[in-house]
Amino acid sequence: MSTPISSIRNLGPAYETACAKAGIHSAEALRELGADAAYARLLEHGTKPHFIGYYVLVMGLQGRPWNDCKGEEKKALRVRFDALKARSFDENKSAFERILNEIGVIDRR
């Protein structure tokens, strides 16, 4: 049995749709991947990077409200987000290139 992603705190239908496009189809799969790997997949599949979207995921997987992220924890998450964005999102890469990259035709960037 699989549980919908929208059953995770803070994550609604739009997040569920983005996850489906990235091949993540259940709350169990999302939890198994973890926040960083899952967010990297979202970026690789066309989700535009947004810091709040990242930390909402992190907080949700911890069972915490999205606005619970503050202070030093938020600063540390920003560093992680920036690293994920740098290695997983290329705004100049076309959708066609992303698909070729996913199936291994071109080198991952």
Residue 6 amino acid letter: S
Q: Could you give the 3-state DSSP secondary structure of residue 71? A: helix
Burial of 42 by CB count in 10 Å (0-12 exposed, 13-18 middle, 19+ buried)?
A: buried
What the chain holds in terms of domains, given with CATH numbers, is 5-102 (1.10.150.20)
pTM of the model: 0.80
Digit-coded pLDDT (tens) for 83-103: 998 887 766 665 666 666 667
**According to the model, what pLDDT value does residue 106 have?**
57
Please calculate the CA angle 9-20-75 and round it to the nearest 5 degrees. 50
